[in-house]
């Protein structure tokens, strides 16, 4: 049976049970089994109708479908701070399973954001966070904001699915001319530093986060609470279950204070809907593809090998290294293969201790989807375990990345580059100055532009580079200010690059 026929007939198989994950150990595997089957209603019925219409459209992953480590929840796969490069650098990496790998399902569905966030959905989240008031729609953002003095909770939710939301809390206090200068006087909209002390236990923080996760429909999420910020605020991260499968890159983050109150958070409010179904590969093939892409980049910064000196005897006369006598006329000494230190180094060996079939966030034709993927747990001997993701969709259903259309060549010396994504914004002074934070390259110069409208302020990062300058590819965070014509007030700040509301801090 062909892959396309398998896709069309998958839904006719009754009561199919799929082993979705396996923990690996030397000498055998301990399986953690889950089931994956359609419920016959809602999105499942819509998917059956799409399957009956023919094979699904190939997915055009913007990164080509390669491996990712750590993960970047904003712009496609990346390497999270502190995570190793999945490619292993110049020498590459070999990921080795410590036990048998699961086959997994024969097919699985992508999930995509659909619809609009309603006022009732925002209100449900606000009540779980302990926020009073009704949401109002400002542009394309639902918002609940503090009173005029700025103290209290603020919740912003994008109206368009998946409904990216941010929550922050400001305790208030003196500001402007009445504020005594110093660290105890935060800018408007920024929380006071958290008091010292011991943070909540992991169990207590998870319990405090549980009602919020339930309001999000994520009470079955995989929850961790190992992180601590500001010395006393416990960080709770939740990876939701979507379509019966674990997810990666679609997490909810909550900051829980010592008193059990959530003081900050972010995530996606709208659960993605089930889309087209694709045939998928097993974990062994996925791991083989991962190793193929992790072969390494080869020597970096190594020039030509030095020329070997000619052979000479003890008296300085030319010598044939093969016979020990004088070289025959026209004889040329053989040159040994050029081997640098990097060439001779073995690739990094990293054990894989777990393989789970799930859904990973990927950018597909400019849209962020949850794509069937294998989630491998890599456990290096010299570091902490980390997750490496490999797309599970059969290669014949992966279209090559689209070639970017040629852009007009900027005038000589202009060095203009594409705008960068804004991470956060802080309101300063009299409310007209915005401190905009973003990531950029160390060799570029940046300016912030602001477009003011009655219902919003759109900010854009303009990057200029020197085309004649050789620069290393290292990113750092920048904060640049821009002054508005009038105080920001209740208007949301929108990122021109992503079209999303920018969280305030």
Beta bridge partners of 318: 312
pLDDT digits (tens, 9 = 90+) for 370-414: 999 999 999 998 888 999 999 999 999 998 876 655 555 444 444
Residue 248 has pLDDT above 90, yes or no: yes
DSSP 420: P
List phi, psi (to 5°) of 193: -60, 140
Q: Cis omega (within 30 of 0) on the bond before 162?
A: yes
201 or 31, which is more confident: 201
Give yes or no for a contact between 471 and 463, defined as CB atoms under 8 angstroms apart.
Answer: no
DSSP H or E stretch at residue 284: helix 283-293
The whole-number average pLDDT for the span 127-150 is 86
DSSP states along 170-219: E-----GGGSPSSTTSPPTT-PPPPP-SPPPPHHHHHHHHHHHHHHTT-T
pLDDT digits (tens, 9 = 90+) for 339-351: 554 455 677 888 9
Q: Which of 78-87, 122-131, 280-289, 309-318 has the lowest mean pLDDT?
A: 78-87
Q: Which structure tokens are listed for 245?
A: 């499968």
67 or 205, which is more confident: 205
CA–CA separation, 120 and 102 (whole Å): 42
Residue 247 has pLDDT above 70, yes or no: yes
pLDDT given for residue 44 in this prediction: 39
Q: Alpha-carbon dihedral of residues 88, 91, 97, 98, nearest 10 degrees?
A: -100
The whole-number average pLDDT for the span 5-17 is 32
Q: Which of helix, strand or coil describes residue 305?
A: coil
Nearest to 390 by CA among 277, 280, 505, 237: 280
Q: Alpha-carbon dihedral of residues 17, 21, 23, 26, nearest 10 degrees?
A: 80
CA–CA separation, 271 and 187 (whole Å): 35
220 or 476, which is more confident: 220
Q: Which of helix, strand or coil describes residue 362?
A: strand
DSSP 70: B
Residue 249 has pLDDT above 50, yes or no: yes
pLDDT given for residue 325 in this prediction: 62
What long-range pairs does 314-320 form, CB within 8 A, spacing at least 24?
Answer: none
When pLDDT is cut at 50, 70 and 90, the band that residue 101 belongs to is: very high
The whole-number average pLDDT for the span 12-37 is 32
Nearest to 463 by CA among 493, 500, 497: 497
500 or 375, which is more confident: 375
Output the average pLDDT for the chain: 74
144 or 45, which is more confident: 144
Residue 324 has pLDDT above 80, yes or no: no
Q: Which of 32-41, 380-389, 423-432 has the lowest mean pLDDT?
A: 32-41
pLDDT given for residue 488 in this prediction: 87
Residue 214 has pLDDT above 70, yes or no: yes
pLDDT given for residue 231 in this prediction: 87
The whole-number average pLDDT for the span 105-124 is 95
pLDDT given for residue 282 in this prediction: 96
DSSP H or E stretch at residue 202: helix 202-215
Nearest to 362 by CA among 64, 30, 7: 64
Residue 215 has pLDDT above 60, yes or no: yes
The whole-number average pLDDT for the span 434-462 is 88
- Those residues whose C-beta lies under 8 Å from the C-beta of residue 204, and which sit 6 or more positions away, are 260
pLDDT given for residue 53 in this prediction: 58
Give yes or no for a contact between 138 and 113, defined as CB atoms under 8 angstroms apart.
Answer: no
pLDDT given for residue 359 in this prediction: 97
CA–CA separation, 71 and 210 (whole Å): 25
pLDDT digits (tens, 9 = 90+) for 276-301: 999 999 999 999 998 888 775 555 44
H helix runs in 253-319, sequence order:
283-293
Nearest to 238 by CA among 216, 263, 260: 216
Question: Measured on CA atoms in the order 80, 475, 450, 469, is the torsion positive or negative?
Answer: negative
503 or 180, which is more confident: 503
Q: Which of helix, strand or coil describes residue 84?
A: coil
pLDDT given for residue 127 in this prediction: 95
CA–CA separation, 461 and 480 (whole Å): 9
The whole-number average pLDDT for the span 318-336 is 58
Residue 40 has pLDDT above 50, yes or no: no
Distances from the Cα of 160 to the Cα of 72, 141, 239, 270, 371, angstroms: 21, 8, 21, 9, 20
């Amino acid at each position: 049976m062909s892959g396309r026929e398998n896709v069309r007939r998958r839904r006719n198989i009754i009561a199919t049970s799929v082993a979705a994950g396996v923990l690996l150990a030397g000498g055998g595997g301990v399986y953690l089994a889950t089931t994956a089957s359609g419920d016959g209603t809602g999105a499942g019925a819509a998917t059956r109708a799409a399957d009956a219409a023919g094979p699904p459209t190939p997915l055009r992953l913007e990164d080509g479908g390669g491996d990712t480590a750590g993960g970047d929840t904003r712009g496609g796969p990346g390497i999270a701070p502190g995570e190793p490069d999945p490619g292993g650098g110049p020498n590459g990496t070999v990921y080795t399973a410590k036990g048998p790998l699961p086959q997994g399902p024969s097919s699985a569905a992508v999930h995509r954001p659909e619809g609009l966030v309603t006022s009732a959905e925002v209100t449900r989240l606000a009540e779980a966070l302990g926020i009073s008031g009704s949401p109002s729609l400002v542009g394309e953002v639902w918002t609940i904001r503090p009173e005029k003095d700025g103290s209290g909770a603020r919740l912003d939710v994008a109206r368009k699915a998946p409904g990216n939301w941010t929550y922050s809390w400001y305790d208030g206090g003196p500001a402007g001319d009445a504020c005594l200068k110093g660290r105890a006087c935060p800018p408007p909209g920024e929380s006071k530093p958290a008091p010292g002390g011991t943070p909540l236990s992991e169990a207590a923080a998870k319990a405090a986060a549980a009602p919020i996760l339930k309001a999000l429909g994520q009470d079955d999420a995989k929850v961790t609470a190992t992180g601590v910020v500001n010395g006393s605020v416990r960080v709770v991260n939740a990876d939701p279950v979507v379509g019966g499968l674990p997810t990666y890159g679609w997490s909810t983050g909550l900051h829980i204070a010592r008193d059990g109150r959530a003081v900050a958070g972010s995530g996606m409010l709208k659960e993605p809907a089930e889309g087209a179904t694709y045939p998928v590969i097993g974990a062994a093939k996925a791991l083989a593809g991962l190793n193929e892409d992790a072969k390494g980049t080869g020597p970096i910064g190594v020039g030509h090998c030095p020329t070997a000196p000619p052979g000479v005897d003890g008296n300085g006369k030319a010598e044939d290294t093969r016979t020990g006598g004088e070289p025959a006329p026209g004889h040329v000494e053989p040159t040994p293969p050029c081997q640098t230190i990097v060439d001779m180094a073995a690739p990094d060996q990293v054990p894989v201790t777990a393989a789970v079939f799930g859904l990973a966030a990927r950018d597909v034709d400019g849209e962020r989807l949850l794509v069937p993927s294998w989630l491998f747990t890599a456990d290096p001997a010299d570091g902490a375990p980390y997750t490496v993701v490999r797309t599970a969709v059969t290669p014949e259903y992966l279209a090559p990345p689209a070639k970017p259309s040629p852009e007009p060549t900027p005038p000589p010396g202009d060095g203009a580059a594409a705008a960068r994504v804004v991470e956060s914004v802080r309101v300063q002074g009299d409310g007209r100055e915005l401190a905009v934070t973003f990531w950029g390259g160390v060799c570029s110069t940046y300016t912030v532009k602001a477009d003011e409208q009655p219902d919003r302020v759109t900010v854009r990062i303009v990057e200029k580079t020197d085309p004649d300058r050789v620069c290393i590819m290292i990113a750092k965070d920048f904060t640049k200010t821009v002054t508005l014509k009038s105080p920001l007030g209740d208007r949301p700040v929108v990122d021109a690059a992503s079209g999303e509301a920018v969280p305030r801090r």
